[in-house]
Amino acid sequence: MNTVDLIRKKRNGDPLTREEIEYIIRRYVAGEIPDYQIAAWLMAVYFRSMNDEETAILTDVMAHSGVMLDLAGAPGFPVDKHSTGGVGDTTTLVLIPLLAAAGLTVAKLSGRSLGHTGGTIDKLESIPGFRTDLSREEFLGQVERFGVALADHTEDMVPADRLLYELRDVTCTVDSLPLIVASIMSKKIAGGAKGIVIDVKTGEGAFLRELEDSRKLARTLVSIGSQLGRKISALITRMSEPLGSMVGNALEVREAIDTLRGKGPEDLADLCCELGAELVIAAGEAQSRQAAIARLHSLLSGGEALDKFQELVRLQGGDPKVVDDPQRLPSAAKTFPIRAAQAGVIAKLNALDIGRAASLLGAGRFVKEDRIDPAVGIQILAKIGDSVSVGEELAVLHVNEQQHLDEARGLVLSAYVIGSELAEVPPLIIDRITGN
Protein backbone atom coordinates (compact mmCIF):
# COMPACT_ATOMS: atom_id res chain seq x y z
CA MET A 1 0.00 0.00 0.00
CA ASN A 2 1.23 3.53 -0.67
CA THR A 3 -0.23 7.01 -0.38
CA VAL A 4 -0.30 7.72 -4.13
CA ASP A 5 -2.41 4.61 -4.76
CA LEU A 6 -4.87 5.69 -2.04
CA ILE A 7 -5.15 9.21 -3.44
CA ARG A 8 -5.78 7.71 -6.89
CA LYS A 9 -8.36 5.26 -5.58
CA LYS A 10 -10.36 8.04 -3.91
CA ARG A 11 -9.86 10.35 -6.90
CA ASN A 12 -11.42 7.63 -9.08
CA GLY A 13 -14.39 7.42 -6.72
CA ASP A 14 -13.75 3.98 -5.26
CA PRO A 15 -14.50 3.34 -1.59
CA LEU A 16 -11.54 2.82 0.74
CA THR A 17 -11.21 -0.12 3.12
CA ARG A 18 -10.53 0.09 6.86
CA GLU A 19 -6.88 -0.83 6.31
CA GLU A 20 -6.51 1.93 3.74
CA ILE A 21 -8.14 4.59 5.92
CA GLU A 22 -6.00 3.49 8.87
CA TYR A 23 -2.89 3.75 6.69
CA ILE A 24 -3.68 7.36 5.73
CA ILE A 25 -4.73 8.65 9.16
CA ARG A 26 -2.18 6.85 11.33
CA ARG A 27 0.76 7.73 9.11
CA TYR A 28 -0.35 11.33 8.74
CA VAL A 29 -0.63 11.77 12.52
CA ALA A 30 2.81 10.13 12.90
CA GLY A 31 4.28 12.72 10.50
CA GLU A 32 5.04 10.10 7.85
CA ILE A 33 2.85 11.53 5.08
CA PRO A 34 3.39 15.15 3.96
CA ASP A 35 0.61 17.76 4.03
CA TYR A 36 0.56 18.07 0.21
CA GLN A 37 -0.47 14.44 -0.23
CA ILE A 38 -3.15 14.65 2.46
CA ALA A 39 -4.36 17.91 0.88
CA ALA A 40 -4.81 16.07 -2.43
CA TRP A 41 -6.55 13.19 -0.66
CA LEU A 42 -8.91 15.62 1.14
CA MET A 43 -9.81 17.24 -2.18
CA ALA A 44 -10.52 13.79 -3.63
CA VAL A 45 -12.82 13.09 -0.65
CA TYR A 46 -14.44 16.49 -1.17
CA PHE A 47 -15.37 15.68 -4.79
CA ARG A 48 -15.95 11.92 -4.50
CA SER A 49 -17.35 11.88 -0.95
CA MET A 50 -17.51 8.74 1.20
CA ASN A 51 -20.26 6.23 1.80
CA ASP A 52 -21.62 5.72 5.33
CA GLU A 53 -19.38 2.73 5.95
CA GLU A 54 -16.22 4.66 5.02
CA THR A 55 -17.36 7.64 7.10
CA ALA A 56 -17.91 5.40 10.14
CA ILE A 57 -14.46 3.88 9.71
CA LEU A 58 -12.84 7.31 9.29
CA THR A 59 -14.63 8.51 12.46
CA ASP A 60 -13.49 5.48 14.43
CA VAL A 61 -9.88 5.68 13.22
CA MET A 62 -9.73 9.42 13.98
CA ALA A 63 -11.22 8.88 17.46
CA HIS A 64 -8.50 6.32 18.20
CA SER A 65 -5.69 8.63 17.02
CA GLY A 66 -5.20 9.85 20.61
CA VAL A 67 -6.35 9.25 24.17
CA MET A 68 -9.85 7.73 24.53
CA LEU A 69 -11.74 8.55 27.74
CA ASP A 70 -12.87 5.52 29.71
CA LEU A 71 -16.03 6.33 31.66
CA ALA A 72 -16.58 2.78 32.94
CA GLY A 73 -16.08 4.04 36.52
CA ALA A 74 -18.82 6.66 36.18
CA PRO A 75 -21.76 6.41 38.57
CA GLY A 76 -24.56 6.85 35.98
CA PHE A 77 -25.20 6.49 32.26
CA PRO A 78 -22.61 8.74 30.55
CA VAL A 79 -24.07 11.27 28.12
CA ASP A 80 -22.78 14.08 25.93
CA LYS A 81 -24.27 16.80 23.78
CA HIS A 82 -22.93 18.71 20.84
CA SER A 83 -24.16 21.81 19.09
CA THR A 84 -23.08 22.74 15.58
CA GLY A 85 -22.81 26.29 16.91
CA GLY A 86 -25.16 29.19 17.30
CA VAL A 87 -25.41 32.74 18.62
CA GLY A 88 -26.21 33.18 22.30
CA ASP A 89 -26.45 29.40 22.50
CA THR A 90 -26.38 29.14 26.28
CA THR A 91 -27.66 25.53 26.30
CA THR A 92 -24.54 23.69 27.55
CA LEU A 93 -24.33 25.84 30.71
CA VAL A 94 -27.90 24.86 31.56
CA LEU A 95 -28.07 21.34 30.17
CA ILE A 96 -24.99 19.90 31.89
CA PRO A 97 -26.10 20.59 35.49
CA LEU A 98 -29.69 19.75 34.51
CA LEU A 99 -28.69 16.29 33.25
CA ALA A 100 -26.49 15.74 36.30
CA ALA A 101 -29.45 16.66 38.51
CA ALA A 102 -31.45 14.02 36.62
CA GLY A 103 -28.89 11.41 37.72
CA LEU A 104 -27.01 11.05 34.43
CA THR A 105 -23.22 11.26 34.20
CA VAL A 106 -21.85 14.18 32.21
CA ALA A 107 -18.16 14.28 31.28
CA LYS A 108 -18.21 17.20 28.89
CA LEU A 109 -15.32 18.59 26.90
CA SER A 110 -16.03 21.94 25.29
CA GLY A 111 -14.35 24.54 23.14
CA ARG A 112 -13.73 28.26 22.87
CA SER A 113 -15.32 30.93 20.75
CA LEU A 114 -14.33 31.35 17.13
CA GLY A 115 -15.97 33.62 14.57
CA HIS A 116 -19.52 34.73 15.34
CA THR A 117 -20.32 31.92 17.79
CA GLY A 118 -19.35 31.75 21.45
CA GLY A 119 -17.65 28.89 23.29
CA THR A 120 -18.68 27.29 26.56
CA ILE A 121 -15.13 27.36 27.95
CA ASP A 122 -14.90 31.16 27.58
CA LYS A 123 -18.32 31.55 29.16
CA LEU A 124 -17.35 29.46 32.20
CA GLU A 125 -14.10 31.37 32.62
CA SER A 126 -16.10 34.53 33.28
CA ILE A 127 -16.91 32.98 36.68
CA PRO A 128 -14.11 34.19 39.01
CA GLY A 129 -11.73 31.32 39.78
CA PHE A 130 -13.43 28.70 37.58
CA ARG A 131 -10.85 26.25 36.21
CA THR A 132 -11.42 24.71 32.79
CA ASP A 133 -7.90 23.26 32.39
CA LEU A 134 -8.44 20.12 34.47
CA SER A 135 -5.85 17.37 34.11
CA ARG A 136 -7.11 14.02 32.87
CA GLU A 137 -6.93 12.62 36.45
CA GLU A 138 -8.81 15.60 37.92
CA PHE A 139 -11.45 15.42 35.19
CA LEU A 140 -12.09 11.66 35.48
CA GLY A 141 -11.83 11.75 39.30
CA GLN A 142 -14.50 14.45 39.47
CA VAL A 143 -16.73 12.51 37.05
CA GLU A 144 -16.41 9.32 39.10
CA ARG A 145 -17.11 11.03 42.43
CA PHE A 146 -19.68 13.64 41.47
CA GLY A 147 -20.99 12.57 38.05
CA VAL A 148 -20.21 15.88 36.36
CA ALA A 149 -17.24 17.77 34.92
CA LEU A 150 -16.96 20.42 32.22
CA ALA A 151 -13.50 21.20 30.86
CA ASP A 152 -11.45 22.30 27.87
CA HIS A 153 -10.32 19.81 25.22
CA THR A 154 -6.80 18.53 25.73
CA GLU A 155 -4.17 18.29 22.99
CA ASP A 156 -3.72 14.54 23.38
CA MET A 157 -7.30 13.69 22.32
CA VAL A 158 -8.18 13.22 18.63
CA PRO A 159 -4.97 14.76 17.21
CA ALA A 160 -6.09 13.56 13.75
CA ASP A 161 -8.97 16.03 13.82
CA ARG A 162 -6.79 18.97 14.78
CA LEU A 163 -4.28 18.22 12.02
CA LEU A 164 -6.89 17.52 9.37
CA TYR A 165 -8.98 20.55 10.31
CA GLU A 166 -6.05 22.94 9.93
CA LEU A 167 -5.33 21.52 6.50
CA ARG A 168 -9.01 21.55 5.47
CA ASP A 169 -9.24 25.17 6.54
CA VAL A 170 -6.54 26.26 4.05
CA THR A 171 -7.48 23.88 1.20
CA CYS A 172 -11.21 24.68 0.88
CA THR A 173 -12.20 21.21 2.07
CA VAL A 174 -14.04 22.01 5.32
CA ASP A 175 -17.34 21.87 3.50
CA SER A 176 -17.51 18.10 2.96
CA LEU A 177 -20.23 16.07 4.67
CA PRO A 178 -18.13 12.96 5.52
CA LEU A 179 -15.26 15.13 6.76
CA ILE A 180 -17.57 17.26 8.93
CA VAL A 181 -19.29 14.19 10.35
CA ALA A 182 -16.01 12.39 11.09
CA SER A 183 -14.64 15.56 12.71
CA ILE A 184 -17.64 16.03 15.01
CA MET A 185 -18.25 12.37 15.82
CA SER A 186 -14.61 11.35 16.38
CA LYS A 187 -14.48 13.84 19.28
CA LYS A 188 -17.74 12.51 20.73
CA ILE A 189 -16.63 8.87 20.39
CA ALA A 190 -13.27 9.63 22.06
CA GLY A 191 -15.17 11.39 24.88
CA GLY A 192 -16.57 8.05 26.02
CA ALA A 193 -20.30 8.84 26.29
CA LYS A 194 -22.83 6.11 25.53
CA GLY A 195 -25.70 8.49 24.85
CA ILE A 196 -25.28 11.50 22.55
CA VAL A 197 -27.62 14.26 21.44
CA ILE A 198 -26.69 16.64 18.65
CA ASP A 199 -28.26 20.07 18.25
CA VAL A 200 -28.00 20.77 14.53
CA LYS A 201 -28.74 24.46 14.05
CA THR A 202 -30.22 25.81 10.88
CA GLY A 203 -30.72 29.39 9.63
CA GLU A 204 -28.74 32.63 9.25
CA GLY A 205 -26.69 32.24 12.42
CA ALA A 206 -25.84 28.56 11.87
CA PHE A 207 -22.86 26.77 10.36
CA LEU A 208 -25.32 25.40 7.76
CA ARG A 209 -27.99 27.89 6.76
CA GLU A 210 -30.13 25.67 4.55
CA LEU A 211 -32.59 23.29 6.18
CA GLU A 212 -31.91 20.47 3.72
CA ASP A 213 -28.16 20.63 4.44
CA SER A 214 -28.83 20.59 8.19
CA ARG A 215 -31.14 17.63 7.77
CA LYS A 216 -28.56 15.70 5.77
CA LEU A 217 -25.90 16.44 8.39
CA ALA A 218 -28.21 15.34 11.21
CA ARG A 219 -29.12 12.09 9.45
CA THR A 220 -25.48 11.24 8.77
CA LEU A 221 -24.33 12.08 12.32
CA VAL A 222 -27.04 9.84 13.74
CA SER A 223 -26.27 7.04 11.30
CA ILE A 224 -22.53 7.09 12.03
CA GLY A 225 -23.04 7.33 15.81
CA SER A 226 -25.44 4.36 15.69
CA GLN A 227 -23.01 2.30 13.60
CA LEU A 228 -20.36 2.95 16.24
CA GLY A 229 -22.64 1.64 18.98
CA ARG A 230 -23.90 4.87 20.52
CA LYS A 231 -27.47 5.79 21.45
CA ILE A 232 -27.78 8.95 19.45
CA SER A 233 -30.39 11.37 18.20
CA ALA A 234 -30.39 14.85 16.73
CA LEU A 235 -32.72 17.82 16.89
CA ILE A 236 -32.74 20.32 14.05
CA THR A 237 -33.31 23.68 15.67
CA ARG A 238 -33.84 27.20 14.43
CA MET A 239 -30.90 29.61 14.59
CA SER A 240 -32.35 32.49 12.62
CA GLU A 241 -32.46 34.67 15.75
CA PRO A 242 -30.20 34.33 18.83
CA LEU A 243 -31.26 31.85 21.50
CA GLY A 244 -32.56 33.38 24.73
CA SER A 245 -31.85 37.02 25.44
CA MET A 246 -28.11 37.21 26.16
CA VAL A 247 -25.12 37.03 23.83
CA GLY A 248 -21.75 37.31 25.55
CA ASN A 249 -19.83 35.40 28.17
CA ALA A 250 -20.72 36.67 31.66
CA LEU A 251 -24.12 37.74 30.30
CA GLU A 252 -24.81 34.15 29.24
CA VAL A 253 -23.71 32.82 32.63
CA ARG A 254 -26.31 35.15 34.17
CA GLU A 255 -28.89 33.91 31.71
CA ALA A 256 -28.00 30.29 32.52
CA ILE A 257 -28.40 30.95 36.25
CA ASP A 258 -31.82 32.54 35.63
CA THR A 259 -32.83 29.55 33.51
CA LEU A 260 -31.59 27.08 36.13
CA ARG A 261 -33.77 28.97 38.59
CA GLY A 262 -36.76 28.38 36.31
CA LYS A 263 -36.84 32.08 35.41
CA GLY A 264 -34.97 32.15 32.12
CA PRO A 265 -36.14 32.79 28.57
CA GLU A 266 -38.70 30.24 27.45
CA ASP A 267 -36.93 29.26 24.21
CA LEU A 268 -33.69 28.45 26.05
CA ALA A 269 -35.43 26.44 28.78
CA ASP A 270 -37.55 24.55 26.25
CA LEU A 271 -34.58 23.67 24.07
CA CYS A 272 -32.58 22.42 27.07
CA CYS A 273 -35.46 20.20 28.19
CA GLU A 274 -36.05 18.88 24.66
CA LEU A 275 -32.35 18.06 24.14
CA GLY A 276 -32.08 16.66 27.65
CA ALA A 277 -35.13 14.43 27.13
CA GLU A 278 -33.30 12.63 24.31
CA LEU A 279 -30.59 11.63 26.76
CA VAL A 280 -32.91 10.76 29.65
CA ILE A 281 -34.64 8.38 27.23
CA ALA A 282 -31.30 7.01 25.93
CA ALA A 283 -30.41 6.25 29.57
CA GLY A 284 -33.69 4.34 29.95
CA GLU A 285 -34.84 6.73 32.69
CA ALA A 286 -38.20 7.74 31.24
CA GLN A 287 -41.16 6.02 29.62
CA SER A 288 -41.89 8.76 27.14
CA ARG A 289 -40.52 12.01 25.77
CA GLN A 290 -43.32 13.88 27.45
CA ALA A 291 -42.47 12.39 30.84
CA ALA A 292 -38.77 13.17 30.36
CA ILE A 293 -39.47 16.78 29.38
CA ALA A 294 -41.81 17.28 32.33
CA ARG A 295 -39.23 15.85 34.73
CA LEU A 296 -36.49 18.16 33.41
CA HIS A 297 -38.74 21.22 33.68
CA SER A 298 -39.47 20.27 37.29
CA LEU A 299 -35.73 20.01 38.04
CA LEU A 300 -35.41 23.60 36.78
CA SER A 301 -38.34 24.99 38.73
CA GLY A 302 -37.49 22.93 41.84
CA GLY A 303 -33.93 24.28 42.13
CA GLU A 304 -32.15 20.90 41.87
CA ALA A 305 -30.42 21.84 38.60
CA LEU A 306 -29.28 25.17 40.07
CA ASP A 307 -27.82 23.34 43.09
CA LYS A 308 -25.89 21.09 40.70
CA PHE A 309 -24.54 24.12 38.87
CA GLN A 310 -23.38 25.64 42.14
CA GLU A 311 -21.71 22.35 43.07
CA LEU A 312 -19.96 22.21 39.68
CA VAL A 313 -18.70 25.79 40.13
CA ARG A 314 -17.38 24.94 43.60
CA LEU A 315 -15.74 21.68 42.44
CA GLN A 316 -13.84 23.50 39.70
CA GLY A 317 -12.58 26.31 41.93
CA GLY A 318 -15.10 28.97 40.94
CA ASP A 319 -16.86 31.42 43.24
CA PRO A 320 -20.11 29.61 44.15
CA LYS A 321 -21.63 32.87 45.43
CA VAL A 322 -22.18 34.04 41.82
CA VAL A 323 -25.27 31.85 41.83
CA ASP A 324 -27.03 34.00 44.43
CA ASP A 325 -25.25 37.21 43.56
CA PRO A 326 -24.59 37.54 39.81
CA GLN A 327 -23.13 41.03 40.51
CA ARG A 328 -19.94 39.12 41.31
CA LEU A 329 -19.57 38.35 37.60
CA PRO A 330 -17.64 40.83 35.44
CA SER A 331 -19.80 43.65 34.10
CA ALA A 332 -19.13 46.21 31.38
CA ALA A 333 -18.36 49.88 32.04
CA LYS A 334 -21.10 51.23 29.80
CA THR A 335 -24.37 50.27 28.21
CA PHE A 336 -25.83 51.69 25.01
CA PRO A 337 -29.44 51.09 24.01
CA ILE A 338 -30.44 50.36 20.41
CA ARG A 339 -33.86 51.84 19.71
CA ALA A 340 -36.53 51.08 17.13
CA ALA A 341 -36.66 53.65 14.32
CA GLN A 342 -40.26 52.72 13.52
CA ALA A 343 -43.23 51.03 15.13
CA GLY A 344 -44.29 47.54 14.13
CA VAL A 345 -43.63 43.88 14.69
CA ILE A 346 -40.18 42.28 14.62
CA ALA A 347 -40.17 40.17 11.44
CA LYS A 348 -36.49 39.22 11.45
CA LEU A 349 -33.57 39.33 13.84
CA ASN A 350 -30.45 38.15 12.04
CA ALA A 351 -28.41 36.01 14.43
CA LEU A 352 -25.27 36.23 12.31
CA ASP A 353 -25.20 40.05 12.55
CA ILE A 354 -25.80 39.90 16.31
CA GLY A 355 -23.00 37.34 16.70
CA ARG A 356 -20.63 39.50 14.67
CA ALA A 357 -21.56 42.59 16.65
CA ALA A 358 -20.91 40.77 19.94
CA SER A 359 -17.52 39.61 18.66
CA LEU A 360 -16.68 43.19 17.60
CA LEU A 361 -17.38 44.37 21.14
CA GLY A 362 -14.89 41.74 22.36
CA ALA A 363 -17.16 38.81 23.30
CA GLY A 364 -15.67 36.54 20.63
CA ARG A 365 -12.60 35.87 18.54
CA PHE A 366 -11.97 36.51 14.85
CA VAL A 367 -8.62 34.71 15.04
CA LYS A 368 -7.47 32.15 17.60
CA GLU A 369 -5.08 34.63 19.25
CA ASP A 370 -7.72 37.31 20.04
CA ARG A 371 -8.40 37.93 23.72
CA ILE A 372 -11.99 38.00 24.76
CA ASP A 373 -13.61 40.38 27.24
CA PRO A 374 -15.94 38.36 29.51
CA ALA A 375 -18.07 41.37 30.46
CA VAL A 376 -19.22 42.62 27.08
CA GLY A 377 -22.04 41.50 24.82
CA ILE A 378 -25.58 42.13 23.74
CA GLN A 379 -28.82 41.88 25.61
CA ILE A 380 -31.73 41.22 23.27
CA LEU A 381 -34.95 42.84 24.44
CA ALA A 382 -37.16 42.36 21.37
CA LYS A 383 -37.37 39.10 19.44
CA ILE A 384 -39.25 37.88 16.37
CA GLY A 385 -42.99 38.40 16.80
CA ASP A 386 -42.71 41.16 19.43
CA SER A 387 -44.47 44.50 18.84
CA VAL A 388 -42.41 47.63 19.36
CA SER A 389 -43.14 51.35 19.35
CA VAL A 390 -40.91 54.10 17.93
CA GLY A 391 -37.93 54.68 20.21
CA GLU A 392 -38.46 51.50 22.20
CA GLU A 393 -35.30 49.63 23.20
CA LEU A 394 -34.64 46.63 20.97
CA ALA A 395 -31.31 45.63 22.49
CA VAL A 396 -28.64 46.90 24.88
CA LEU A 397 -24.93 46.79 24.10
CA HIS A 398 -22.64 46.08 27.07
CA VAL A 399 -19.37 47.81 26.21
CA ASN A 400 -15.86 48.37 27.55
CA GLU A 401 -13.70 49.34 24.53
CA GLN A 402 -15.48 51.77 22.23
CA GLN A 403 -13.22 51.12 19.22
CA HIS A 404 -15.79 49.13 17.21
CA LEU A 405 -18.90 50.53 18.88
CA ASP A 406 -20.31 52.28 15.80
CA GLU A 407 -19.88 49.22 13.63
CA ALA A 408 -21.47 46.98 16.28
CA ARG A 409 -24.37 49.42 16.67
CA GLY A 410 -24.95 49.45 12.92
CA LEU A 411 -24.94 45.67 12.77
CA VAL A 412 -27.47 45.30 15.59
CA LEU A 413 -29.75 47.91 14.09
CA SER A 414 -29.62 46.27 10.66
CA ALA A 415 -30.16 42.82 12.19
CA TYR A 416 -33.71 43.92 13.02
CA VAL A 417 -36.36 43.98 10.33
CA ILE A 418 -39.53 45.62 11.60
CA GLY A 419 -42.67 44.86 9.61
CA SER A 420 -46.21 46.14 9.82
CA GLU A 421 -48.01 42.83 9.97
CA LEU A 422 -48.20 40.15 12.59
CA ALA A 423 -45.13 37.96 12.19
CA GLU A 424 -45.51 34.23 12.55
CA VAL A 425 -42.97 32.94 15.08
CA PRO A 426 -41.47 29.85 13.43
CA PRO A 427 -41.05 26.76 15.62
CA LEU A 428 -37.77 26.37 17.52
CA ILE A 429 -37.55 22.64 16.96
CA ILE A 430 -37.91 21.81 13.31
CA ASP A 431 -37.23 18.09 13.26
CA ARG A 432 -36.03 15.18 15.32
CA ILE A 433 -33.83 12.44 13.86
CA THR A 434 -33.42 9.24 15.84
CA GLY A 435 -31.20 6.19 15.53
CA ASN A 436 -32.37 2.69 14.78
| Binding-site ranges for Ca ion (CB under 5 A) | 88, 90, 243-244, 246
Q: Which secondary structure element, helix H or strand E, spans residue 9, and what is its range?
A: helix 3-11
420 counts as catalytic: no
180 lines the binding site for ligand URA (CB under 6 A): yes
Compose the 206-245 pattern: x for residues touching ligand URA by CB under 6 A, - for all others.
-x--------------------------------------
Residues belonging to the chain = 436
183 counts as catalytic: yes
- From Ca ion, ligand URA, none, which one binds at residue 66 (CB under 5 to 8 Å depending on kind)? none
184 lines the binding site for ligand URA (CB under 6 A): yes
Task: Write the CA distances from 291 to 120, 247, 349, integer angstroms.
Answer: 28, 31, 33
Compose the 309-348 pattern: x for residues touching ligand URA by CB under 6 A, - for all others.
----------------------------------------
Concatenated DSSP letters of 224-288: HHHHTT-EEEEEEEE-SS-SSSEEEHHHHHHHHHHHHTT-S-HHHHHHHHHHHHHHHHHTT--SS
Could you say which of 65, 83, 126, 183 is catalytic?
Answer: 183
CB of 217 closer than 8 Å to CB of 181: yes
Q: Smallest distance, Å, CB 45 to ligand URA?
A: 12
> What count of other Cβ atoms lies within 10 Å of the Cβ of residue 369?
6
334 counts as catalytic: no
CB of 265 closer than 8 Å to CB of 393: no
Q: Could you tell me which of 137, 134, 114, 113 has the C-alpha nearest to residue 123? A: 113
- From Ca ion, ligand URA, none, which one binds at residue 180 (CB under 5 to 8 Å depending on kind)? ligand URA
Let me know if 203 is exposed, middle or buried by CB neighbors in 10 A (0-12, 13-18, 19+).
Answer: buried
Nearer to ligand URA, 183 or 214 (CB): 183
- Chain residues 192-211 in contact with ligand URA, contact rule CB under 6 A: 207
Q: Hey, is 407 helix, strand or coil? A: helix
Q: In DSSP terms, which residues pair with 196 in a beta bridge?
A: 80, 232
**First CA to last CA across the chain, in angstroms?**
36
What whole-number distance in Å separates Cα of residue 436 and Cα of residue 253? 36
Q: Smallest distance, Å, CB 428 to Ca ion?
A: 13
Q: Smallest distance, Å, CB 17 to ligand URA?
A: 23
Q: Could you tell me which of 49, 51, 80, 46 has the C-alpha nearest to residue 63? A: 80
- From Ca ion, ligand URA, none, which one binds at residue 244 (CB under 5 to 8 Å depending on kind)? Ca ion
Q: Smallest distance, Å, CB 207 to ligand URA?
A: 6
Sequence-distant (≥ 6) Cβ neighbours of residue 339 within 8 angstroms: 391, 392, 393, 394
Nearer to ligand URA, 206 or 372 (CB): 206
Could you say which of 10, 108, 187, 254 is catalytic?
Answer: 187
Q: Smallest distance, Å, CB 239 to Ca ion?
A: 11
Nearer to ligand URA, 109 or 275 (CB): 109
What whole-number distance in Å separates Cα of residue 237 and Cα of residue 328? 33
Q: Smallest distance, Å, CB 184 to ligand URA?
A: 5
161 counts as catalytic: yes
Q: How many residues bind ligand URA (CB under 6 A)?
A: 6
What whole-number distance in Å separates Cα of residue 290 and Cα of residue 184? 29
Q: In DSSP terms, which residues pair with 429 in a beta bridge?
A: 237
Contact window for ligand URA (CB under 6 A) among 23-31, 147-155, 175-183, 396-404? 175-183
358 lines the binding site for ligand URA (CB under 6 A): no
Could you say which of 10, 81, 82, 194 is catalytic?
Answer: 82
Nearer to Ca ion, 50 or 95 (CB): 95
183 lines the binding site for ligand URA (CB under 6 A): yes
Q: 204 — phi, psi (to 5°)?
A: -55, -35
Could you say which of 80, 152, 161, 373 is catalytic?
Answer: 161
59 lines the binding site for ligand URA (CB under 6 A): no
168 counts as catalytic: yes
- From Ca ion, ligand URA, none, which one binds at residue 246 (CB under 5 to 8 Å depending on kind)? Ca ion
- From ligand URA, Ca ion, none, which one binds at residue 183 (CB under 5 to 8 Å depending on kind)? ligand URA
Q: In DSSP terms, which residues pair with 418 in a beta bridge?
A: 346
Q: Could you tell me which of 287, 198, 231 has the C-alpha nearest to residue 77? A: 231
- From Ca ion, ligand URA, none, which one binds at residue 184 (CB under 5 to 8 Å depending on kind)? ligand URA
Q: What type of residue is 236? A: I
Q: Which residues would be at the binding site for ligand URA (CB under 6 A)?
A: 174, 179-180, 183-184, 207
Name the residues annotated as catalytic.
Answer: 82, 161, 168, 183, 187
